[in-house]
Amino acid sequence: GTTSKPPFPELDFRSGARVEELNKLIQEFTKHDQREYDDQRALEIHTAKDFIFSMLGMVQKLDQKLPVANEYLLLSGGVREGVVDIDLDELNVYARGTDYDMDFTLLVPALKLHDRNQPVTLDMRHSALCHSWLSLRLFDEGTISKWKDCCTIVDHINGATNYFFSPTKVADWFYESISIVLSEIQKKPQRGMPKVEKVEKNGTIISIILGVGSSRMLYDIVPVVSFKGWPAVAQSWLMENHFWDGKITEEEVISGFYLVPACSYKGKKDNEWRLSFARSEVQLKKCISSSLMQAYQACKAIIIKLLSRPKAISPYHLRSMMLWACDRLPASYLAQEDYAAHFLLGLIDDLQHCLVNKMCPNYFIPQCNMLEHLSEDTVMLHARKLSSVRSDPAEHLRTAIEHVKAANRLTLELQRRGSTTSIPSPQSDGGDPNQPDDRLAKKLQQLVTENPGKSISVFINPDDVTRPHFRIDDKFF
């Protein structure tokens, strides 16, 4: 006749929070954070994208600097969301709900090296790990003459002149070119054309906020150098075992990389580019469980607000830690659907560990420590802030939920005050605005709902901007 005691609810030892409650809070955050798109919103997204691609086609025609047939990488989330490794200290603060409703990052190759099968060797003699200068000697004379004015010039003793592609000069040229094109477009506004609400140069990226119907879209446009293949400096990473082994092929992971306009802490801003593996990260994301992604998004929302001053930790650091965790922990553990709370607490612990030890290795180039430049005072300040989160994760989750709900309320309020009619695409013939192309709307809605959080490559010919080609992973649309 002994009666068994009911199992004690699972608790987080450090904070005393009930794990079940943390899981529910993460689910609630995810519900409010993930936007659902109806046909109207899908058309607005398409209209804004159409406008940006048309604009870039016109930039190419200005002085023929950009490649004629270019391949952009479109990422969901702005630069401030950590989708690429760019320093945030030079960026103006934009808030979802207040300044925009949806955000994207668009990597636009200014130069392409796409004809190489061997590992790409870069000129890293002058720069810190994970960074490189880029000599135009790798290119033909036509390319050199086109881009001379965006280079720093180094004369050698033997009389030879070397042109180094300058990220700051390229960004200046890009901003000026975009400004000229937008000024021309706005002189002849077409019906249904997005309203350009803001164009700002933030360091080396150009941020554009478009108003389309009742939506505001933020596009962070980043001029990059695009490479096919894999850099020699990251070759040893391929020799290690990784969580994605057997799930996706090595060819998918190492199909290409970029140089983005960002320099190291002590680097020369006019010359130094940072290696970016954004294309690979799109592939790796497919192998990360939904519960870990939910924990990551919730953790990111907490730290963006908490660790914003002084700027030392970016969401990209957190992304790197998540990838390392995927390599370190068993896939069967990370696949547990009701373990989001464990993953959130683990990510906070990981981040605090990295701060206390001032060590956060780049996932693709582990010998590069992304926190090396920080002062002891800065890392300890942030570690103490994280300690307060770890002591009461439920309260910080509730605050993150309130922030995202407030942003959504602002968006809904704007939609109520804004246009209630459908907006035709800029290339449309201006037919009845209340009769959008249902097939297009359905197709776009299907793309968005079937590929949540995925990044989209777009191949576009600027001579025919009416036919952009979506590529989500290896599928074309």
CATH number at residue 32: 3.30.460.90
* Phi-psi domain of 192 (left: phi exceeds 0; alpha: psi -120 through 50; beta: other): left
Task: Classify residue 92: in a domain, yes or no.
Answer: yes
Task: Return the structure tokens found at 52.
Answer: 């940006």
What is the spatial distance between Cα 36 and Cα 101, in angstroms, rounded to a whole number? 12
Q: Are 104 and 217 in contact (CB under 8 A)?
A: yes
Per-residue DSSP letter, 155: E
What pLDDT, on a 0 to 100 scale, did the predictor assign at position 421? 37
**pLDDT of res. 41:** 83
Asked if residue 88 is part of any domain, the answer here is yes
Helix (H) or strand (E) holding 41: helix 39-63
How many CB atoms neighbour CB 51 within 10 A?
A: 26
**How buried is 189 (Cβ within 10 angstroms: 0-12 exposed, 13-18 middle, 19+ buried)?**
exposed
In the block, residue with structure tokens 């519900």 = 31
In a domain, 2, yes or no: no
Among residues 272, 279, 273, 277, which one has the least CA distance to residue 260?
A: 273
**Do 425 and 193 touch, CB atoms closer than 8 A?**
no
Q: Are 173 and 163 in contact (CB under 8 A)?
A: no
Q: Centre a 10 Å sphere on the Cβ of residue 115 and count the other Cβ atoms it contains.
A: 7
Rounded distance, CA 335 to CA 340, Å? Answer: 10
pLDDT at 464: 47
Residue 143 contacts by C-beta under 8 Å, 6 or more apart in sequence?
111, 136
* Residue ranges in the chain whose pLDDT is less than 70: 1-6, 36-37, 115-119, 157-159, 418-477
Answer yes or no: are the C-beta atoms of 153 and 162 closer than 8 Å: yes
Q: What is the dihedral of CA 328, 330, 333, 337, to 10 degrees?
A: 80
Give the chain's domain count: 1
**HSE-up of residue 181 (Cα within 13 Å, Cβ side):** 21
360: left (phi over 0), alpha (psi -120 to 50) or beta: beta
Note the pLDDT of residue 32.
Answer: 92
**Alpha carbon separation from 188 to 182, 183, 185, 193, 423 (Å, rounded):** 10, 9, 6, 10, 18
Q: Which amino acid is at 34?
A: Q
Whether 248 is covered by a domain: the verdict is yes
Whether the Cβ atoms of residue 225 and residue 271 lie closer than 8 Å to each other: no
Give the residue from 142, 270, 145 showing the smallest Cα distance to 204: 270
Structure tokens at 312: 């030392």
Cβ atoms of residues 387 and 307 within 8 Å: no
The domain of 64 spans: 19-401
pTM listed for this prediction: 0.85
Closest C-alpha among 50, 103, 101 to residue 215: 101
Tokens found for residue 107: 């990597």
Beta-carbon-side half-sphere exposure of residue 19 (alpha carbons within 13 Å): 16
DSSP code, position 248: B
Residue 374 lies in a domain: yes
Contact 269, 167 (CB under 8 A): yes
- Interatomic CA distance for residues 197 and 207, integer angstroms: 11
Assigned domain for 322 exists: yes
Burial 367-393 (b: 16+ CB within 10 A, else e): ebbbbeebeeebbebbbeebeebbeeb
Is residue 419 in a domain? no
Q: Does 180 fall in a domain? A: yes
